[in-house]
Structure 1
Amino acid sequence: MKANILQHSTSSKFGRFVKKQWVWWLMLLPGVVLTLVFKYGSMFGIVMAFQKFDIFKGTFFGQEWASNHGFGNFIYLFKMEKFWNSVRNTLLISGIKIALGIIVPLLLAILINEVSKKWFSRFVQTMYFLPFFLSWIILGSILLEMFAYGGVVNTMLEKLFGSRIMFFLDNGWFRVLVILSDVWKGMGYNMVIFLAAIMGVDETLYEATEIDGGGRFRQIINVMLPSIAPVVAMVMTLSIGGILNGGFDQVLVLYNPMVYEGGDIIDTFVYRLGMFGNRQVDVASAVNLAKAVVTLVLMGGTYYLAYKKFDYRLF
């Protein structure tokens, strides 16, 4: 009886809350619908990873199951050298991106925090943050022009060193360009996060270190960095969750068949596999499913380490 009364009371409170805030719920509705349709609705396509899918037979209902008890696509996938090449490229490119994407913004945040002129500090923050708002379609077009064999960068290199570099034809230089351009584009975002964390450090800790004879460098090492460690752990955890992404839109805009060996990542490999040639959407689905499972394990492991080491909790 008491349970029914409590349940009725809770339902009434929730109903009154919804009725009172109906405008906000209405504004929330489109986002909820889009999430349900494109995030959860598309999850039904997971079944294609276990089928011998034929796009001319309609949806995944009524399709034949793949060989080896439905795991034929995965077996075929793991035997493909191009797949393993894309995995190696993804881990290499994403790993360096994540490392530099934390170190560089952290150093910038520390340097900006030391600037005494507030107007100059705000100006620098704005300049570093602006590229984050530009799409890779725009930035990619600029990079393709600047780093082309006859572009402004190669013209300067020829005048200074007497030779030009084929950035979009050499696998090694293409990786360097992809990594550095991504770090440059995104460093402003993490810089603002780290700078906000630095400004939240208790000033009395700096004063105590100064009384003990510690200079500014010691204050940064012994006070600032340990104080913002949970924020750094948060950024690292969220970054590790995307380590298998590699930056699909960036690579798709910049790469070409000449740099597939060094620039092809998992997402671009899946894109070509499912959209061109034989349109092996079943194998492409298998790749994405395997990628999702590995990403979940990596992110869970990183979150556990962050919790144990820095007592960081996301939820």
Structure 2
Amino acid sequence: MKLLNSPAKPRAVLACAIAGLLLTSGAPAFAQDKSEARIRKLEAEVSALQRRVFPGADGRYFEPDIAAPANGSPNGSTQTTAVTDILARLDALESAIQMLTGQVEQANNTQRGFEQRLAVLEKASATRSATTAPATSVPAVASGTATGTSQPRPATPTPTATPQPSAERLAAVRAIAKPQTDDAGDDDYSYGFRLWEAKFYPEAQQALAAFVEKYPDHWRTTYGRNLLGRAYLDNGQPREAAPWFLQNYQADNKAARAPDSLLFLAESMIELGDKDRACIALAEFSETYPAIASGRLSDQYESNRRQVQCSN
């Protein structure tokens, strides 16, 4: 400590001390080299100690080799904070990836459920195609969003299919006027609707079947297929009605009357005593149209549910 407090430079003091030792000793030349190395080591240690004890602007001393950060915090703390931030961001990314993976798996499971339910519905319609009004089978669809565009072809009624109408009935049917506007397709649908509204169901079936065959791409076609199914259902023919409801849903499940048809399909299955397929149709309806199930068609949906005991 006396050496540090002396105003003389440590290098001169140490040099004199070492010179005296060399003059009084009879060490060989290799010992002198070793002493020089020790001198340099001691000088370096003294210089480092001076920078530590006497920091400042004094030209006699050097600034410390490692300076503290301007904000007074140690460098290690700054590095630790940066590493902590990186680790936190990595944790957040891993959590987001896990969440997205779960959502994708859930969407895939939902899609597989739709496909299985539609496969069951299509199988049910295929087994009844021999006795239904359409002469061709309902097109197969692989997913919940139907893309088939082919239309079921209604069979031409034969004179023996229904009893010969009475003169009074014929007169009442003729009294229902067919609209005459610039839209011939809408006129044909409106005429079928008027027949159905008047409860002339066989005549409505003929008129609506002709409409959906002649105008497969008309904006009223979704209404026509749904009403054709209802003309059969209201006439006590749920087996003939079911394929029309299923076809209307599969042709475009975003069409105006697609949700109605799916609900009427469940009703047809209930009347046929097929509770399992009725539950499948009701589950498909609630999952595909949750807003309509709790809104416009809520009463009909709840009424159908009360008639069957579904597991979900």
Normalising by structure 2, we get a TM-score of 0.23
Higher relative contact order (CA 8 A, sep 6+): 1
Please say which structure displays the higher CA radius of gyration. 2
Normalising by structure 1, we get a TM-score of 0.22
